Amino acid sequence: MALINPKKKEVQVKIVYYGPGRGGKTTNLEYINKKFKKRIQNEMVTVKTYGDRTLFFDFLPFDIGEIKGHSIKVQLYTVPGQVKYNATRRLVLRGVDGLVFVADSMDLRREMNIRSLQNLKENLETFNKSIFNTPLVLQYNKRDLEEEGIPILSVETMQRDMNSRLKAPSFAASAVKGDNVAATMKKIIALTVGSLRKKLE
């Protein structure tokens, strides 16, 4: 549940970017950080990275205006995707209000996507949360690789693998180019804020 501070009339909304290692979670946040500079009061915080791998998390605070006299602060986080960092992933997931699952479109990553989604479900269950009633958007990232002749999975295959039961909104995207990065973020913010509003009423 989002953190509400009645004195400051402020609601903090936590959105977590989840997915397999090297899928493009950090790249999503980097793009958002560049693109929405004006609305971000603080610099993006990247905690402990080794090369370009996330070892702890990235954090990006974001102001999206007011709802019913409360200012809404959106906080975007990424988890470390590497399998061995599951304890950290669980820590970052705690108190999550909305999820973006960043899947890697590369053919070779098919199995990793499915395993990471399964891992997300299991981790949510440890907090008595179900993926089916948490706001969720799927992103099929790295679509640009097709132009370079690198084999990628079709959107239909990815939908079948990951979204046949979830039926979450999904976007084909390229985080390096910025294609559908903002659309993904706007969708998850809209879903999450909408669901919180219902809970608050």
Ligand X SMILES: Nc1nc2c(ncn2[C@@H]2O[C@H](COP(=O)(O)OP(=O)(O)OP(=O)(O)O)[C@@H](O)[C@H]2O)c(=O)[nH]1
Judged by beta carbon, residue 54 or residue 134, the one nearer ligand X is: 54
Q: Which letter, b or e, does each residue of 54-93 get, where b requires 16 or more Cβ atoms within 10 Å of its Cβ?
A: bebbbbbbbebeeeeeeebbbbbbbbbbbeebeebbbebb
| Choices 51-59, 86-94, 105-113, 146-154 (CB under 5 A): range interacting with Mg ion | 51-59
Q: Does 53 bind ligand X (CB under 6 A)?
A: yes
Q: What tokens does 65 get? A: 């205006």
Q: Does 24 bind ligand X (CB under 6 A)?
A: yes
Please report the DSSP string for 126-178 in residue order.
HTT--GGGS-EEEEEE-GGGGGGT--B--HHHHIIIIITTT---EEE-BTTTT
Q: CA–CA separation, 170 vs 178, rounded Å?
A: 16
| Choices 54-62, 67-75, 139-147, 182-190 (CB under 5 A): range interacting with Mg ion | 54-62
Q: Does 195 bind ligand X (CB under 6 A)?
A: no
Query: Which helix or strand (DSSP H or E) is residue 50 part of?
Result: strand 45-50
Judged by beta carbon, residue 175 or residue 193, the one nearer ligand X is: 175
Q: CA–CA separation, 186 vs 76, rounded Å?
A: 12
Site for Mg ion (CB under 5 A): which residue of 54, 113, 163, 170? Answer: 54
The closest residue (CB) to ligand X is 81
Instruction: Give how many residues touch Mg ion by CB under 5 A.
Output: 3
Q: Does 25 bind ligand X (CB under 6 A)?
A: yes
Nearest distance, CB of residue 148 and Mg ion, angstroms: 22
The closest residue (CB) to Mg ion is 54
Nearest distance, CB of residue 96 and ligand X, angstroms: 16
Q: Which of residues 76-105 bind ligand X (CB under 6 A)?
A: 78, 80-82
- Smallest CA-to-CA distance from 97 within 18, 189, 201 is with 189
Q: CA–CA separation, 169 vs 172, rounded Å?
A: 11
Q: Does 28 bind Mg ion (CB under 5 A)?
A: no
Residues that bind ligand X (CB under 6 A): 19, 21-27, 52-54, 78, 80-82, 141-142, 144-145, 174-176
Residues that bind Mg ion (CB under 5 A): 25-26, 54
